[in-house]
Amino acid sequence: MAILYDQKHSFKERVQTSIADDFKHNAIKTAQDLFHGKRAIQVEAVEDWQDFRTEAASIRDHVLENLDYYLNQFATNAEKNGAKIHFAKTDKEACRQVVEIFKSRQAKSTVKSKTMVSEEIDINHSLMDVGIEVNETDLAEVILQLDDWNPPSHIVVPALHLDRFAIQKIFSRYGYTGSEEPAEMTRFARQYIRKKFLSADVGITGCNFGVADTGSTFIVTNEGNGRMVTTLPKTQIVLMGMERLVPDLASLSVMMELLIRSSVGSKITSYFSMTNGPRKADEMDGPEELHIVIIDNGRSKILKSEFRSMLRCIRCGACLNICPVYRHITGHAYGSIYPGPMGAVLTPLLVGYKKAKDLPYASTLCGACTDHCPVKIPLHELLLKHRENIVERERMSSTIEKSIFGMAGMSLARHHIYNLGTKVAARAMKLLADKDEIMRKNHHIPILKNWMQSRDLPLMKKEKFRDWFKKHQKEE
């Protein structure tokens, strides 16, 4: 089952396991190329895309600056609509509140539509611990659940690491005898989920956005399962991160333009559902009771910190779809339900540097994530900020690392030491290199061991740049 952060395995172990898995690599590569290509077409079609991004970023910033006001407005209006509002400071408190709702309704089972915040607070464990039957209904999440709660590897496409053959094998454990054709397997999944929809006591959804001046919550799905979860069970629970608000429907429309294009590379989504309180007397569908649990879980702290802009995130996944590191190490290597660049920034803020100090280093700092983020989060700058905090504020770098950078600093500040150092290094490299002047990977040089595990290193040129530069200056 997915947990916020995997502490059983070190970052290095997770990366090694992921790198060794060729199948996962190819799956991620194909998916990245597909999503990135589709997104590019949609973005090109919008003439003023950059203006859209600027507007979306300022809407998100405005909400964050006035979050107390908008939370209050949202809660008041949602209550007027008939919803019951709960505020939860921590993940545990949120889970406790949800379990209480189940008890008060004597509920025994639930159907869930995909929600990242439910993974973040790990609601599944809390519910199953008290004997509630939990059923995911998003197709990818169903596959992962049936595969003994295999953890997700992408925030939008959680089963990205499995292909049709793997899925056929998983389904066959539950009586499926058909082929590996997606349409046939989807039919099987539909039959399986439909029974769960009809018998579930409670529906749990996340919330892409809450609109403050109407008190409504919105979810976006591609399969229509969200709509079944919000209409069939007698009780509905919406789990909402406290930052997921927009002031009004006009700002919601801006966010939707960006969210759908950035996440799946489409103009519009298949299903866009609005919940406006429980069923009214003259309505045919909808729950008898609607509960909205507004979750802090570290967000107030982020709001007050230099990482506030991370709360603009609309969980579109565009930064994952462009990241060369995510492509190489794949989602599971991050060990977090939030992988990729957004996860490398967010996870240490949620679980602390002590547990996740390696994640900000899982980046080349190329800045592609920042360029692709629809709400202009300066992701690569935030990653650098984390690194600065880890080294300078938390003093968490190792003694070897400190000595290496101390020596590098000393030699870069004194040209005679630098000259001597490069001469010695060039000779040492020559001794270790092949005839064709390349140090081949898998060299077991203590300090460079990890670096050399997957890289060849050509020898340094005999002519130094500064000599080359002097020579060319003279020629000019």
Residues that bind ligand SF4 (CB under 6 A): 262, 313-319, 342, 372-375, 377, 379
CB of 261 to ligand SF4, least distance (A): 11
Q: 395 burial class (0-12, 13-18, 19+ CB within 10 angstroms)?
A: exposed
Q: What is the smallest separation between the CB atom of 263 and ligand SF4, expressed in angstroms?
A: 7
Comparing CB distances to ligand SF4, the nearer of 202 and 258 is 258
Give me the least distance between CB of 65 and ligand SF4, in Å please: 18
Smallest separation (angstroms) from ligand SF4 to the CB of 319: 3
The tokens describing 319, both together, are 């930064």
DSSP code of 151?
P
CB atoms within 10 A of CB 267: 11
Tell me whether residue 155 or residue 162 sits nearer to ligand SF4 (CB atom): 155
Which of 313/329 has CB closer to ligand SF4?
A: 313
Count of C-beta atoms within a 10 Å radius of residue 164 = 13
If the CB atoms of residues 107 and 359 are measured against ligand SF4, the closer one turns out to be 359
Strands 209-211 and 216-221: antiparallel
Q: How far is the CB of 409 from ligand SF4 (least distance, A)?
A: 33
User: What's the rounded Cα separation, in Å, for the pair 249 and 209?
Assistant: 10
Report the nearest approach of ligand SF4 to the CB of residue 373 (Å).
3
In the complex with ligand SF4, the residue whose CB is nearer, 215 or 317, is 317
- In the complex with ligand SF4, which residue's Cβ is closer, 235 or 262? 262
> How is the chain split among helix, strand and coil, in percent rounded to 5?
55, 10, 35
Picking from 19, 18, 4, 3, the residue whose alpha carbon sits closest to that of residue 348 is: 4
Shortest spacing between CB 322 and ligand SF4, in angstroms:
8
Crossing angle for the helix pair 340-351 and 379-388, nearest 10 degrees? Answer: 40
Residue 226 or 340: which CB sits closer to ligand SF4?
Answer: 340
Burial letters for 85-97: b for 16+ Cβ neighbours within 10 Å, e otherwise? Answer: bbebeebebbbeb
Return d(Cα 228, Cα 246) in angstroms, integer. Answer: 25
Between residues 219 and 319, which has the closer beta carbon with respect to ligand SF4?
A: 319
Q: What minimum distance in Å lies between the beta carbon of 299 and ligand SF4?
A: 14
Residue 231 and residue 288: Cα distance in Å, rounded?
10
SS3 at position 426? helix
In angstroms, rounded to a whole number, what is the distance separating the alpha carbons of residues 183 and 277? 35
Cβ of residue 345: shortest distance to ligand SF4, in angstroms?
7
* Residue 421 CA to its chain's centroid (Å): 42
**C-alpha span between 178 and 200 (Å, rounded):** 27
Please, which residue, 116 or 432, has the CB nearer to ligand SF4?
116
Residue whose pair of structure tokens reads 């429980």 in the numeric block? 278
Q: Following CA atoms 262, 263, 268, 269 in sequence, which dihedral angle do they give, to the nearest 10 degrees?
A: -170
Nearer to ligand SF4, 86 or 315 (CB): 315
- Tokens 């209480």 label which residue? 100
**Residue of 2, 91, 30, 36 lying closest to 332 (CA atoms):** 2
Minimum distance of ligand SF4 from residue 167's CB (angstroms)? 25
**Cα Dmax for the chain:** 89
CB of 372 to ligand SF4, least distance (A): 6
Residue 118 and residue 206 in contact, taking contact as beta carbons nearer than 8 Å:
yes
Q: Which is nearer to ligand SF4, 109 or 266 (CB)?
A: 266
